[in-house]
Amino acid sequence: MAETVIRKDATADLKIKIGDRIRNGQIVSAKTNSACEQLTTLPISGTVKSIRFNGNSHEFIIVVSDTK
Amino acid sequence: MKKIVKTLTVIILTVLISATLCFGDANTTFSYPTAKLDVSDISFYQPSSDITPYPVARSKKVKNIIFCIGDGMGLSQVEASRLKAAGSAGVLYMERMPFVGLNRTHSANALVTDSAAAVTALACGIKTNNGILGMAPDKTKYQTILEAAKNKGKRTGLVATCGITHATPAGFASHVKSRNNRAKIAEQMLANKVNVMLAGGWEYFLPKSHLGSKRKDERNLIEEAKSAGYEYIQTPQELSSAKSLYLLGLFQPGALTTNPPEPTLAELAEKAIEVLNCKKKGFFLMVEGSQIDWACHDNNIDNAVKQTLLFDQAVKVAIDFALKDKHTLVVVTADHETGGLTIPGGDLAGKKIDTKWSTGGHSAMDVPIYAFGPRAEIFSGVYDNTDIPKKFAKLFGIKKFPKQLK
């Protein structure tokens, strides 16, 4: 099973949680309008396997597994 | 057999990596053993036996300012910490400061700020977009209160429990379009000749070829710092024996562990004050409890309380100095609240508190301000976060602030 790691700035809360089946293009969090934030929608489909906060980068690290 | 070989390989690799980190380049890196302590253990904290407010200062002359920022520290974080450490009748040291206010935290383009826009407000006195440090939304650079204080001849310092190039400390001594440009931030902070920088984050100061570096070039900013007159320190022993008026202390890659044997935020603040207090013209020092925010992103109340109490210990160090000095203003606030924390129940002794988190991100709630020392009364009331450095500038006799940089 392939896994993809997605990094998302943690200023705004996530709209996904562990175990969710997610779709490519789904909104990942509220907009923060950050100058350095690119990701607002999910780039892949799959199942959210884990979510962890990384303080050093101030990001949520989201692991998504391929559901195929 | 395979299992034994695998285990041996892991052990050998671990020893080799540890040895490289600890002794590979003794002049530039040092790694502490990682102590994994119980975050609910707050026995390190001694609450104040006196719950009365600190006295209102008689002097009106502000020579020094110590600006303490609890990242992500809203009123509920303060209250939860007070209940856990001192019970419902007790107080934190910051709560004994005689003047209290609230500040609004929104950024130029979002109701919920991030730490970059928030620190730009707190350091430069201007609103900017989330993600930007030390610049307006149109990318015009603005002088920070630290830079303005330095131009007035004051010594300057930054102390934090995150990496020194993380948003809050970076916002006082750098100007970049993205808070993520940490290598450039490190260069600018060094070029700014801040007298004292004590935190984590050596990975942005070492060349790409050094194990653990996150730079994309071969610049060795630690060697550059030494050439520029900085004393580079990495251990508690070096911290206590350091004598230079320029100190660069990077105690970890990334953030501090906030566990022994690493120096505490209070010990770092104490050293910074000792060094900065050498000059007659005074100083500006920023002390950040960086990891309150991180604990709240994790919705971890035990760690949020621990980090807030570690921060409060540093605030006490600032207050103790100000009580003796008489011309030092201490202001405590937060850049924003994190977690949307509320306390819907619990017992009066604080043995059990119920907590409810409404988000894993930041919230738009106002944050508290506590002030002690000469002219502390001007920090009462409800106002914008951009007003705080403007007040500092007036007290320091800085005529033009906010000020664009050429």
How buried is B235 (Cβ within 10 angstroms: 0-12 exposed, 13-18 middle, 19+ buried)?
middle
Q: Which of B255, B314, B294 is nearest to B69 (CA)?
A: B314
Helix (H) or strand (E) segment spanning residue B168 = helix B167-170
Cβ-defined contact of B291 to A55 (cutoff 8 Å): yes
Q: Which of B338, B332, B391 is nearest to B362 (CA)?
A: B338
Distance CA B291, CA A49 (A): 26
Regions of chain B with pLDDT less than 70: 1-36, 279
Distance CA A11, CA B361 (A): 5
How many residues are there in chain B? 406
Query: What are the pLDDT digits (tens) for B128-168?
Result: 999 999 999 999 999 999 999 999 999 999 999 999 999 99
Cβ-defined contact of A14 to B360 (cutoff 8 Å): yes
* pLDDT at position A33 over 70: yes
How buried is B85 (Cβ within 10 angstroms: 0-12 exposed, 13-18 middle, 19+ buried)?
buried
Query: What are the pLDDT digits (tens) for B259-302?
Result: 999 999 999 999 999 999 976 899 999 999 999 999 999 999 99
Chain A 24-43, residues with CB within 8 Å of chain B CB atoms: 29-37
Q: Using the CB atoms, write b or e for B15-32: b if 16+ within 10 Å.
A: eeeeeeeeebeeebbbbb
Is the torsion defined by CA of B394, B112, A50, A63 positive or negative?
negative
The whole-chain average pLDDT of chain A stands at: 90
Helix (H) or strand (E) segment spanning residue B149 = helix B145-151
CA distance A6 to chain B (A): 16
DSSP letters, A39-61, are -SB-SS-EEEEEEEEETTTTEEE
Distance CA B191, CA B215 (A): 17
pLDDT value of position B56 = 97
Per-domain boundaries in chain A: 3-65
Q: Which of B363, B381, B362, B361 is nearest to B371 (CA)?
A: B381
Contacts of B290 in chain A (CB under 8 A): 55
Distance CA A15, CA A31 (A): 11
Can you tell me whether residue B66 is helix, strand or coil?
Answer: strand
Q: Which fold would CATH assign to domain A3-65? A: OB fold (Dihydrolipoamide Acetyltransferase, E2P) (2.40.50)
Distance CA B326, CA B294 (A): 34
CA dihedral B121, B126, B128, B131 (to 10 degrees): -40
Cβ-defined contact of B297 to A12 (cutoff 8 Å): no
Q: Is the CB of residue B132 less than 8 Å away from at least one CB of chain A?
A: yes
Distance CA B238, CA B401 (A): 37
Q: Which of B266, B65, B25, B41 is nearest to B160 (CA)?
A: B266
* Annotated catalytic residue within B31, B76, B107, B115: B115
CA distance B331 to chain A (A): 25
DSSP letters, B83-134, are HHHH-TT---SGGGSSEEEEEE---SS-SS--HHHHHHHHHHS----TT-BS
Reading the block at residue B36, the tokens are: 């994994």
pLDDT value of position B12 = 52
This complex has an ipTM of 0.93
Cβ-defined contact of B130 to A12 (cutoff 8 Å): no
Distance CA B129, CA B110 (A): 7
User: B203, B254 in Cβ contact below 8 A?
Assistant: yes
User: B296, B304 in Cβ contact below 8 A?
Assistant: yes
Can you tell me whether residue B40 is helix, strand or coil?
Answer: coil
Q: Which of B246, B318, B234, B301 is nearest to B26 (CA)?
A: B234
pLDDT value of position B33 = 57
Q: Mark whether B115 is an active-site residue.
A: yes
Structure confidence at residue A36 as a pLDDT band (50, 70, 90): confident
How buried is B274 (Cβ within 10 angstroms: 0-12 exposed, 13-18 middle, 19+ buried)?
middle
Q: Which residue of A has its CA nearest to B294?
A: A55
Distance CA B309, CA B45 (A): 7
Q: Which residue of A has its CA nearest to B340?
A: A13
CA angle B89, B93, B96 (to 5 degrees): 70
According to DSSP, residue A37 is labeled -
Rg over alpha carbons for chain A, rounded to the nearest Å, is 11
Reading the block at residue B237, the tokens are: 């022993």
Indicate the residue of B115, B131, B163 with minimum beta-carbon distance to A56: B163
Distance CA B279, CA B281 (A): 6
CA distance B185 to chain A (A): 14
The residue type at B214: K
pLDDT value of position B37 = 72
